[in-house]
Structures are given as C-alpha cells and as structure tokens.
C-alpha cells in the first residue's frame, strides 16, 4: 500500500463462499479521490452475566451480552469475509492446530473445524464462553473445538504450539479496546515458526468531510439548550470521536494512509505511532471533521482477501470514526490540509485511545493552525 488513495483490491467473498449471500463490501470502490459496541449493562433474562459481577472487568462483561454478538454476526461484510477466507483456503487449515483469540460465540472456531482443522482452541474471557461451549456441543464439534474460558495472557493451552492464530480483534478506529496486544501475546507465545496469523495486515486511513448539519446538531447544540448555555458539554462532545456512518458524498479530499500494521511481525508498541498526513481538497468546500477508517487483509490466502470499513464501501458495524474540528476550514480545490496524528494507549486504561491531531491550512480563503486532543472511551 502507498500513501495515496490506491487501495489493494480484494476478491469478492460472494464469489467464493457457497450458500453465502453478499459478503465482501469491496466491489464498491474504496475511496479513490487524490462495538457501537456499547451495550446496556443492566441485568436481564437475555444476559449471561452472573449477578455478582462488578464493573471492574466491564470490557469483558460487555461481551457477555448477546446483543453485541448479534450485531457482529449480522455484519455480513465481517463474518462472511472470515468465512470465505477459511472455507476457500482449506489448505491452510487442513490437519492444523488453530487458536481463536477472543472467540465470542465460537463462530470462527466452527468455520475452522468445518474446514478440516485438526483441533481448535477457542479462548474467550467473557461469560459468553459458557454459551460457546454449548454451541460447539450442539453442532457436533466437541471433539474438534475446545473452548477455554479466561484471559489469553493468564491461561495455558493444552499444546505447546499452534499453527494458526485467527482473531477478529479490530475495534472502532481499528485500535479501540486494544485487543491487538492479546493477539500479539498469543503469537509470541504459541505460534510455530512460519505460522499463520489471520488477518495479517491492517491499515488505518484518514480523510476530510463537509458535515455542517450534523456538527450543528451534535456539537453546536450545546450553545443554547432551551435558552441555557451548556457550552461546557460542547467542549467534552468535541473531544470524544463520534462513531457513525459517513455519506461518501461528504468526502471532500483524498484519503491518506496513516499506518499499515503487519500483525505477523509487529511489536506491541507499534500500535502507538505518529503519522503525517496531507489531505488535498478535491473541490471548493468547507471542512468540519476528519474521518478515520481501516482496511484489513488476509495475504496468506490463495487470492488476496479482505474488507474495508471506509465510507465508499459497504457499511460495517465499525462504521467510521469522526473527529470534529474546532475550526470550520474553507478550502479551495487543490489546497492541502497538512499535519500529523499521534495515536497512543491511554495510560490509565490501555483499552482506551488518546489521539493528538495537529493540522495547518494556508489557503486563499482560510488560514488555520491548531492542535486538538481526542479521547476514545
């Protein structure tokens, strides 16, 4: 991948999965100009969270609720791409030992078992592990899939090494929730030399949009609430990135590659980085926000496969991440917003993300230079 709008093209999962409806979102063009997962934590009959749970492990508790798994499973771009990767690359899985990190309901483990894996170890820390065990048993794969309940960093596998690590670790803004580090830990501890990590590449992109109406509704709203000034909330609202679906017609610049990560080789610290960007206006317009999204790819397949979460691709449950600017930037075609983005784990809670954005515009109608800070919580 290069630092421009030329994205890799992936094989459409629809072409390779039997009995699967539309899956890959990549037959829609990606950006070619120059979970959310917050589930109601109140106990209910649709919970597998025990009554004595506290908020100390809220991250894992949130994955004990059925709703978040329903949302992910119904994301056909996500789930059917993984299904395509596994079913159409059985040579990778035949008679191999597989580790599924963050297995959830066990769907990826079941795909692997059906594809001919010798054994699959499905690791899930939340109470959904209990459901996964039942799902595996009901579907007749108990002799192939073993569900292990616990944190990957704290348990021991019944085997010394595995041939494949598969995981759907991506969060909003790619890195929110920091599950990637658990995958890297498992890779370093259990993956055989020359083993396979799926997916093995992930790339984060940035673009800019016109979004006057939504910014007015979500940010400027706090200036006058039934005649009262609540601007203090506006300050907080602009600091928190918004996860939402962006209309591709709002895109006003090129899409800039910020970071590509090779999951098979990277170090845990590589997920914190500073990357420069240059967003060139494709037309005269106003810029209200920057938008981040990611692509993932499976390069060890017979043919390149993967998916995008970008505005020009089919919608996924990850949507896009919108970072509103304090300034409204007036850009003329060909003018560039230049700057850098720094991404780092929050020191108090490493599953959260701190973002620092520096940007400058020296245009015919607008000059601006600012540093903004965002917190994904």
| Domains of the chain from N-terminus onward | 55-168 (3.40.50.150), 201-376 (2.70.160.11)
Residue 10 pLDDT class (50, 70, 90 cuts): low
Annotated catalytic residue, options 71, 134, 156, 177: 177
Residue 137 annotated among the catalytic residues of the structure: no
Residue 22 annotated among the catalytic residues of the structure: no
**Alpha carbon distances (Å) from 326 to 43, 245, 259, 341, 357:** 39, 21, 25, 16, 11
Mean pLDDT (whole number) for 93-107: 97
Question: What's residue 9's pLDDT?
Answer: 54
Mean pLDDT (whole number) for 88-112: 97
Q: What are residue 212's phi and psi, to 5 degrees?
A: -60, -45
Percent of the chain with pLDDT over 70: 83
Question: What's residue 28's pLDDT?
Answer: 40
Question: What's residue 49's pLDDT?
Answer: 41
Instruction: Read off the pLDDT of residues 36-88 as tens digits, 9 standing for 90 and up.
Output: 333 343 333 344 444 444 333 444 454 556 788 899 989 999 999 999 999 99
Q: How far apart are CA 110 and CA 91, in angstroms?
A: 16
Mean pLDDT (whole number) for 126-146: 96
Q: How far apart are CA 153 and CA 4, in angstroms?
A: 37
Question: What's residue 140's pLDDT?
Answer: 97
Mean pLDDT (whole number) for 142-160: 97
Q: For 107, how many CA atoms within 13 A lie in the half-sphere containing its CB?
A: 17
Annotated catalytic residue, options 15, 22, 168, 210: 168
pLDDT of 19 above 70: no
| Among 65-69, 181-185, 345-349, the range of highest mean pLDDT | 181-185
pLDDT of 333 above 60: yes
């Amino acid at each position: 991948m290069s630092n421009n709008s030329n994205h890799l093209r992936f094989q459409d999962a629809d072409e390779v999965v039997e009995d699967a409806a539309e899956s890959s979102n990549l037959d829609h063009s990606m950006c070619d100009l120059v979970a959310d997962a917050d589930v109601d934590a109140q106990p209910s009959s649709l919970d597998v969270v025990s009554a004595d749970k506290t908020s100390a492990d809220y991250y894992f508790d949130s994955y004990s609720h059925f709703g978040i798994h329903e949302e992910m499973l119904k994301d056909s771009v996500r789930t059917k791409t993984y299904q395509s990767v596994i079913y159409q690359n059985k040579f990778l899985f035949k008679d191999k030992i597989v580790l599924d990190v963050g297995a959830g309901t066990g769907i990826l483990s079941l795909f692997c078992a059906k594809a001919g894996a010798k054994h699959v170890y499905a690791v899930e820390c939340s109470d959904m592990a209990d459901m996964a065990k039942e799902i595996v048993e009901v579907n007749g794969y108990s002799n192939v899939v073993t569900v292990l309940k616990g944190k990957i960093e704290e348990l021991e596998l019944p085997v010394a090494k595995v041939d494949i690590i598969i995981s759907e670790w991506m969060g909003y803004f790619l890195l929110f929730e920091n599950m990637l580090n658990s995958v890297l830990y498992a890779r370093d501890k259990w993956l055989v030399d020359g083993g396979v990590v799926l997916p093995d590449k992930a790339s984060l992109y940035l673009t800019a949009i016109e979004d006057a109406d939504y910014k007015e509704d979500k940010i400027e709203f706090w200036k006058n609430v039934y005649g009262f000034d609540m601007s203090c909330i506006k300050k907080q609202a602009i600091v928190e990135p918004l996860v939402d679906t962006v209309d591709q017609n709002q895109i006003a610049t090129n899409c800039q590659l910020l970071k590509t990560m090779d999951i098979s080789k990277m170090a845990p610290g590589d997920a914190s980085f500073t990357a420069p960007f240059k967003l060139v206006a494709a037309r005269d317009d106003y810029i209200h926000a920057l938008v981040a999204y990611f692509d993932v790819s499976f390069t060890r397949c017979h043919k390149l496969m993967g998916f995008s979460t970008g505005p020009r691709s089919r919608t996924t449950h990850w949507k896009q991440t919108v970072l509103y600017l304090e300034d409204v930037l007036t850009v003329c075609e060909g003018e560039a917003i230049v700057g850098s983005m720094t991404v780092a784990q929050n020191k108090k809670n490493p599953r959260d993300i701190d973002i620092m954005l520096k940007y400058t515009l020296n245009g015919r109608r607008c000059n601006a230079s600012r540093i903004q800070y965002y917190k994904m919580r």
